[in-house]
Amino acid sequence: MNALHIARSELILGGQRSGKSRRAEMLARQWQAQSPAHRAVLVATGQPWDDEMRERIKRHQQDRAERVPGMATVEEPLQLSQALAAHGSAQTLVVVDCLTLWLTNLLMPADDVKPNRAPTLSVPAQTAMLLEAIDSSPGPLVLVGNEIGLGVIPLGREVRAFVDALGRLNQEVAQACERVTLMAAGLPLILKGQP
């Protein structure tokens, strides 16, 4: 494996099965290998909405344990900026996987998934807090998200609104990050920053 420059902050975008999470894991594994003091933490935003999602989460956990031994996992579907503040440190690389599910949780909370939390702030307020957390992160930060705006324009009003909201979120996070990488077929294309 060629050593990569670990950016202070990196946004990794791509479609489903494009290699986004694997790149984030590779960066975490490389970070851990650089020093015995280095830690890696995954902030998982997915929620087990149904049996398929529960199985998907379980499979991701098993695969991640094999690929990045020692990486801690924190589940946080809503309060992302608080999770980054709580788990970030100069010696810790934090991976957020993924921004798309985080936005989904904010905009379309599942009826049967009721987090034991106070009501969340608006999406613009949450996004502003996330951008501040990216800017003030004491250690490296890798954020994973989907690029879903490349396909056919969705028919439903709600779906179009979600695609628009995710596009805005991706643009704002991309502006805040030192490096932005687009993944396709497992291959990275650096859109911003040093490779």
pLDDT digit string (tens) for the chain, length 195 residues:
467 789 999 999 999 899 999 999 999 999 999 999 999 999 999 888 788 888 888 888 888 888 899 999 999 999 999 999 999 999 999 999 999 999 999 998 765 545 555 556 899 999 999 999 999 999 999 999 999 988 888 788 988 999 999 999 999 999 999 999 999 999 999 999 988
Rg value, the chain, Cα: 16
60 catalytic? Reply is yes
Domain hosting residue 50, numbered range: 9-192
Q: Is residue 4 part of a domain?
A: no
Nearest Cα to Cα of residue 174 among 125, 127, 139: 127
96 occurs within a structural domain:
yes
Of 1, 177, 19, 179, which Cα lies nearest the Cα of 97?
Answer: 19
Instruction: Calculate helix-pair angle for 157-176, 123-136, nearest 10 degrees.
Output: 20
Instruction: Tell me whether residue 1 is in a domain.
Output: no
CATH number of the domain enclosing 104: 3.40.50.300
Tell me, yes or no, whether 3 lies in a domain.
no
Specify if 136 maps to a domain: yes
Domain count, the chain: 1
The rounded Cα 6 to chain-centroid distance in angstroms is: 16
